[in-house]
Structure 1
Amino acid sequence: MKAATRNTTLAALIVLASAGALASGTHAGGHGHDANEAVGKPGVAAKVTRTIHVDMTDTMRFSPADISVRQGETVRFVVKNSGVLRHELVLGTEKELKAHYEAMKKNPEMEHADPNMVTLAAGKTGEIVWQFTKAGKVDFGCLQPGHYDAGMKGAVKVSKAGK
């Protein structure tokens, strides 16, 4: 097994174990996406109710960093990297983000493509379509080494349906 493949496999296992994601309904990267998950589930593009544009910059900030949605809403995030560094937007609980971030610091070249995230090179734009199934707070952050610690994080406030 090549060292890069072994490191990627090891990193994926670390994320799975540290996020406590050994239950059914999970996939590589340690994120379960069933309807009972705290952060929601991948959305269906045909059911998008609105689009939210998010900009990522080399000042290690998201704009906006605070977003409000309603429970049950399906949102298309159009994410642009306005910087010259590689950035990403990953949705999750604070615990999941911190565990994933620690794995990324140990394996900075780790590649992954989960529905709750988009990783972008300088000047690129990407999308996440996400349905917010539970009221509460969903965190997001850039898990590129050094970025999360520098404050590149934000939150989605999910208000109860009908309020």
Structure 2
Amino acid sequence: MSHVHKLALLAVTVTLAVAGCSGGGSEAPKGTEKAEGGSSRTVKVEMVDKSFKAAGLGTVKKGETITFKFTNTDKVDHEAFIGDAGEQLKYNEELQKNADSHADGGDDGHDHHPEGAIHLAPGATGELTYTFSDNDEVEIACYEPGMYEAGMKLVIPVK
């Protein structure tokens, strides 16, 4: 195989790997769309010990758009989904539906993430941009098995 063919194969492989991590749904939850002109600020979030640690989040204002840059510094996979209570419920129901449709293959639904979430292996990074609308409270949550129940969520009050 020539050097050019190897580079082309590598580019396709990287593109497919990135596309495969984007989820399987067709509709992103409200607020996760990229805002015109980008975000107003960036917040780094560490995923570790069944928690999200957001350095410098401070007060979030209605209408503000924030890009969250996640780093999984833990030893297990984590995911991040941002949304209000209704969006969290809808996302969790979609995960359950995926689990039910893949139950025969031993899949717990987390191999096929709905749109709007990121799934990060240990050491991986990723980002989500969210526009805070009229909600008084938004959560960042991890629904990997047992994580949400163990408290892996970050409640963000919106003023």
User: Considering the TM-score relative to the shorter chain, is it more than 0.5?
Assistant: yes
Shift of 1:71: 1.1
How many Å separate the matches in 1 of 2:70 and 2:123? 11
Alignment of 1:107-126 (within 5 A): 107-112=108-113, 114-115=115-116, 117-126=117-126
SS in 1 for 2:139: strand
User: Any gaps of 5 or more consecutive residues in structure 1?
Assistant: 1-26, 34-39
1:113 and 1:44, CA in 2 relative to 1: closer, same or farther beyond 3 A?
farther
How many Å separate the matches in 2 of 1:120 and 1:61? 14
How many Å separate the matches in 2 of 1:131 and 1:82? 26
Shift of 1:45: 6.9
Q: Which amino acid aligns with 1:145?
A: P
- Residues 56-88 of structure 1: CA deviation (Å, up to 9, x unaligned): 01x211113976311111111001100111101
Question: Which residue of structure 2 aligns with residue 28 of structure 1?
Answer: 25
Bigger proportion of residues as strand: 1
Structure 1 stretches of 4+ with a deviation exceeding 4 A read 29-32
Shift of 1:146: 0.6
Choose 1 or 2 for highest CA Rg: 2
Question: Which residue of structure 2 aligns with residue 6 of structure 1?
Answer: none
- Residues 109-133 of structure 1: CA deviation (Å, up to 9, x unaligned): 4322523x22111101101111112
Do structure 1's residue 150 and structure 2's residue 141 form an aligned pair? no
Shift of 1:139: 1.5
Q: Once superposed, what is the RMSD of the aligned Cα atoms?
A: 2.8
Question: Which residue of structure 2 aligns with residue 50 of structure 1?
Answer: 41
Question: Which residue of structure 2 aligns with residue 13 of structure 1?
Answer: none
Alignment of 1:86-125 (within 5 A): 86-98=77-89, 100-101=91-92, 104=95, 106=99, 107-112=108-113, 114-115=115-116, 117-125=117-125
Shift of 1:142: 0.2
When normalised by structure 1's length, the TM-score is: 0.64
> How much identity, in percent, do the aligned residues show?
29
- Number of equivalenced pairs: 125
- Residues 114-163 of structure 1: CA deviation (Å, up to 9, x unaligned): 23x2211110110111111224101221011110011101112111xxxx
